[in-house]
Structure 1
Amino acid sequence: MSSKQPRKQRLARFTAPYHRRHREMSSPIDKGLRERQLSRGFVYPRSMPVKKGDRVMIVRGEGKSKSATAVSLVDRKARKVYVEGFTYFKSDGTELQRPIDASNLVIINPDWSDIRRRKILNRINDSVEWTEEVVSEFEAAEDEYEAETVEPSEPKVEESSDEEEETIVDASEPKTEDIDYSKMSVSELKELLKEKKLPVSGKKADLIERLQGDSK
């Protein structure tokens, strides 16, 4: 893209061929994983195009987290990536996946099931022979690294003790039946509806009626 004019840059970006879009949608591979595999005699590239099935970590922007998640869809046309668990709610309560740029991701556990992707390693290593043992070693090493460095996405369930624990009820917290929804603003009512996973469309009276019906 040699032109300095923004209109020509936008035109070149949105009319780029598929192979260029594929190359531009690349994410860096985690540095620790590259060092781990280098000690085993395999050289990883610094980055490579994101693929469905990769385990990635969001390191920039909204949704930044230390837990890994799988790539569910790669939209080359829109240059966006969709990962599992990164969603948002529409005004009617519908849950949709939120798109994210590939530059905001770090590949923590690549998927080497695609033969074309294995050629990336063949170019920088001395002719890797992809036997079943090599593939299993790759997957085991990457799974082990992910388990060591990445926090679990789901909270651990603590085992309940045999002794019954006494629960202290806070009398200052109002019960659901005692809440006066008419004194709340529309935005506050919609937040409550989102927490209850109920539709948030309609007028204030409709929102109050929906909350009162759910509390019964």
Structure 2
Amino acid sequence: MSKKPRKQRAMIYSGSIQVRRKLVCAHLSRELREKFGRRSLTVRKGDKVRILRGDFRRHEGEVTRVDRKRGVIYVEGVTVAKADGSAVQRPVHPSNVEIIELAQDKWREKILKR
């Protein structure tokens, strides 16, 4: 691995979807951190998150979509008005949120038991 910023960015932008999955991670809340014994987890559709930075700071909502290609997530209620008056969801970088509630399924439970 190179430590040159240009090569690091190139790896991120040209990486496969499987590699980019690691880039869509967010910190867990203190309660979840103590419960599961880990600091971060990949964000999934259905997780409840709290936004920590930006215009929508302190907003809590459910993740409606995860865009691995762009490396962003879309949170319920985080919308901006377009010029014609219609609302459109605003993307949020996963590093600016913390997961406060997990969407559990059998695969995720298996990951958390590791």
Same fold (TM over 0.5): yes
For 2:28 and 2:95, the matched residues in 1 are separated by 11
Matched, 1:12 2:11: yes
Matched residue of 1:98: which SS? Answer: strand
Matched, 1:111 2:103: yes
1:3 offset after TM fit, Å? 4.3
For 1:112 and 1:99, the matched residues in 2 are separated by 23
Greater fraction of residues in strand = 2
Paired AA for residue 76 in structure 1:
R
Matched, 1:97 2:95: no
Specify the alignment match of 2:111 in structure 1: 120
1:16 offset after TM fit, Å? 0.8
Greater fraction of residues in helix = 1
Larger Rg belongs to: 1
For 2:21 and 2:75, the matched residues in 1 are separated by 17
Kindly provide the CA deviation profile for residues 41-83 of structure 1, in whole angstroms up to 9, marking residues without a partner as x: xx33210000000010001122001x52100000000101000
Specify the alignment match of 1:47 in structure 2: 40
Aligned length: 114
CA RMSD of aligned residues (A): 1.6
Cα 1:98–1:44 shift into 2, 3 Å: same
Paired AA for residue 22 in structure 1:
R
Specify the alignment match of 2:69 in structure 1: 77
Gaps of 5+ in 1: 38-42, 124-216
TM-score calculated relative to the size of structure 2:
0.90
Considering Cα pairs closer than 8 Å and 6+ residues apart, tell me whether 1 or 2 has the greater RCO: 2
For 1:51 and 1:101, the matched residues in 2 are separated by 13
Specify the alignment match of 1:157 in structure 2: none
Matched residue of 2:64: which SS? Answer: strand
